[in-house]
Structure 1
Amino acid sequence: MPHVIAHGGGVWSIAVPIPDNPLGHTLVHLVDTGRGPVLIDTGWDDPASWDALNDGLAALGTSAAALHGVVVTHCHPDHHGLSGRVREASGAWIAMHAADAAVVRRTRAAEPGLWLDYLTDKLERAGAPEEHLAPLRAARSAGRSGGLPGLRPALPDREIAPGELLDLAGRRLRAVWTPGHTPGHVCLHLEEAHPARLPGHGRLFSGDHLLPEITPHIGLYEDPDDAAVTDPLGDYLESLERVARLGPAEVLPAHQHAFTGAPARVRELLAHHEARLTALLGLLERPLTPWQAAERMDWNRPWERIPHGSRNIAVSEAEAHLRRLVKLGRAEAVPGSGPAAYVAV
């Protein structure tokens, strides 16, 4: 049987698998509207994932061909990956925040090798050792994309504006801009009474922004064409507080499971990141490169057991925390250091 959960009030979730990923699956939500069913996210672009999505839709008495629209919480391939196939099957529109739509356009326009060049250069400037860079250089020389997913994501038809009440017949679904995990991440607030009359204000489709037991990756906004100095962690922390003020009765995330108590979960995440910032500041008693900082930070496993690709993600997260400390005036870049190094103020 497909993994389908009824949440009441014309809302269901379908577990769509993510190949070779510890998260296991993306929870794709289906919302009934007066013009037909609408998906919130679609899952990874993979044959098994497509089959699982179709099996779930069939179990709900519908099909991909019957879908009216797709609302994408953010542009990552485990959320946006199957959007193009859904549109081909149904003619459904695809909606996404403008900031992530811009990422999609740039990704589609870029030669795949550009991303390997960018990643290699960024890691080199972060202080990565040559043994870590060598596989990336070899992949580039061989003309391989390095297996990077989502290099041809579907272009959206509509752009979501922050605060917008989406045009869904018979439903009140409002977009809440929650940057941090990506620059254009949105949560979607279903401004309707909870079907089980739980206390609070409606339900929140939270994408990757607010999860019940894990913290989303907050790294740098990866864009080879953008030289702006962004503060993704600052964006995320501010977005968390925005979501807490909504006080939803229930949160329907894209991973794990539905949960209540959003304000309390937000407080936990704010405390988690403050503890990470404090711990990182303690490490910066002497100058460290982002790579050295990542090696010394606490992760869910020892650094020597973190695989190559996950180390890239860890370094990006370390850089996001370093930028936040710099913006707060608690750390600074060491002038003239190469690779870049940071020290506590």
Structure 2
Amino acid sequence: MNTQVTDHKGGVWSIAVPIPDNPLGHTLVHLLETDRGPVLIDTGWDDPDSWDALVAGVTACGFDVTDLHGVLITHHHPDHHGLSAKVREASGAWIAMHAADAEAVRRTREAEPEQWLDYLLAKLSAAGAPDDHLAPLRKARATGGGRKLPGRRAALPDRGIGPGELLDLPGRRVRAIWTPGHTPGHVCLHLEEAHPSAPAPGFGRLFSGDHLLPGITPHIGLYEAPDGEARPPGPHDLDSSAEDPLGDYLDSLERVGRLAPAEVLPAHQHAFTDAGGRVRALIAHHEERLARLRVLLQEPRTVWQLATAMEWNRPWEQIPYGSRNIAISEAEAHLRRLVKQGRAERVPGSDPVRYQAV
């Protein structure tokens, strides 16, 4: 096995753990040495090859998996949290996560596949999805499909990660920075120690998870939450009192920008400097996207019609089925931001609901 391990100096390593059948390629799992033993930041996807890569990587860092003392999870997505249970089983390590994402893990573990399918059907119908998009979900619902949803085996954490908390990691200073947006409980972890190589202005290093990536804009969609009874998303779901993931993300970006770390260690791609420049670029990207959406909403549109008209990394016709559902969620998150800002509103009496710029 070609183990990809990088020594970032000062007791910080990264291990490339593959994500099966995904263009991202791998998750960068970070290993942080502490006085009580090594701690992982994220774990990677729950897959035998991914597990083998993680074990080989820990070994290449000079440790055994049984040495692992703890696991800090930046967020609950399966390419970050997937192997947590296996790590805990092999080492006895504790697992820590923000309460909002721990709740998402609990819901995912407890929800039956049929609940997810009902939720998706209600959500996509309310968004104005056509019958040919809904048909596979209806078929899966009728035949008992959806039994292999990712995250069903994800571990519940042993402890929380509180915003602003200085974590209990003897010999290290790591502070939790709550950065909701990509998920409601996403956290970045600021290593409040002088950079061993002092590569750039700023202080410390930031383990940024998916919040801040050097060349990718992380997905910002709605905080999905089927909770027993799937109900059709109603008009209130995009009103000014609803959750606002994109607003959360933009606020979180500004918080990280003010932090001004010397270096960012993300969960994908590569380490980079100039966090402030990247923050400004991401904020500008979303503001430009919101402006383009307002132009599209000069004509009343459903969420589905809006998503099909938006610019993606490929034409809508070439976007795979599952990715279209993700695109719908992202369109909803941007639309919700416009509604909360008073820049768009529902068209009264429309069914499915249409929105227009104001």
TM-score between both structures, scaled by the size of structure 2: 0.95
Aligned match of 2:61: 60
Q: Is the 8 A contact 2:113 2:147 kept in 1?
A: no
Counterpart CA distance in 2 for 1:249 and 1:48 is: 33
Using the TM superposition, name which of 187-196 and 225-234 deviates more. 225-234
Deviates more, 1:126-135 or 1:227-236: 227-236
> How far apart are the structure 2 equivalents of 1:164 and 1:150?
27
Task: Work out whether residues 107 and 226 of structure 2, in 8 Å CA contact, stay in contact via their aligned partners in 1.
Answer: no
Note the C-alpha offset of 1:303.
0.4
Where 1:343 maps in the other structure, the secondary structure is: strand
Count the aligned residue pairs: 345
SS at match of 1:5: strand
The alignment partner of 2:305 has SS state of: helix
Q: How does 1:171-320 map to 2 (within 5 A)?
A: 171-198=172-199, 199-225=201-227, 229-320=242-333
Equivalence for 1:322: 335
1: distance between equivalents of 2:208 and 2:121?
32
Does structure 2 retain, via aligned residues, the 8 Å contact 1:116–1:146? no
User: Within 5 A, what are the aligned runs for 1:30-45?
Assistant: 30-45=31-46
The equivalent residue for 1:133 is 134
Contact 1:287 1:334 in 2 (8 A): yes
What is the letter of the counterpart of residue 173 of structure 2?
A: R
The whole-number CA distance in structure 2 between the counterparts of 1:47 and 1:152 is 14
What's the secondary structure of 1:51's corresponding residue? Answer: helix
Aligned 8 A contact 1:107 1:152 in 2: no
Q: What is the CA distance between 1:146 and its match in structure 2?
A: 6.2
Q: Distance in 1 between matches of 2:52 and 2:351?
A: 49
Alignment RMSD (CA, Å)? 1.1
| Kept in 1: contact 2:111–2:227 (CA 8 A) | no
1:286 CA displacement: 1.2
| Conserved 8 A contact 2:111-2:226 | no
What is the percentage of aligned positions where both structures have the same residue? Answer: 74
TM alignment of 1:87-98, pairs within 5 A: 87-98=88-99
Contact 1:136-1:146 at 8 Å conserved across structures:
no
Residue aligned with 1:28, SS: strand
Tell me, what secondary structure is at the counterpart of 1:104? Answer: helix
The 2-side partners of 1:44 and 1:34 are apart by 27
3-state SS of the aligned residue for 1:192? coil
* 1:61 partner amino acid: G
- For 1:216, give the aligned amino acid: P
Q: Distance in 2 between matches of 1:152 and 1:36?
A: 26
Partner of 2:225, secondary structure, is coil
> Is 2:156 aligned against 1:152?
no
Deviation at 1:334, TM superposition (A): 1.3
Partners of 1:336 and 1:111 lie apart in 2 by 34
Where 1:14 maps in the other structure, the secondary structure is strand
Q: What amino acid sits opposite 1:8 in the alignment?
A: K
Q: What is the CA-CA distance between 1:336 and the residue it aligns to?
A: 2.1
Unpaired runs of at least 5, structure 1 = none
Give unmatched runs, 5+ long, in structure 2.
229-236
Moved more, 108-117 or 75-84: 108-117
Choose 303-312 or 137-146, whichever is displaced more: 137-146
Equivalent residues of 2:95, 2:158 under 8 A apart? yes
Matches of 1:333 and 1:151, distance apart in 2: 36
List per-residue Cα deviations over 1:269-316 (Å, max 9, x = no partner): 000000000000000011111110000000000000000000000010
Ranges of 4+ aligned residues in structure 1 off by more than 6 Å: none
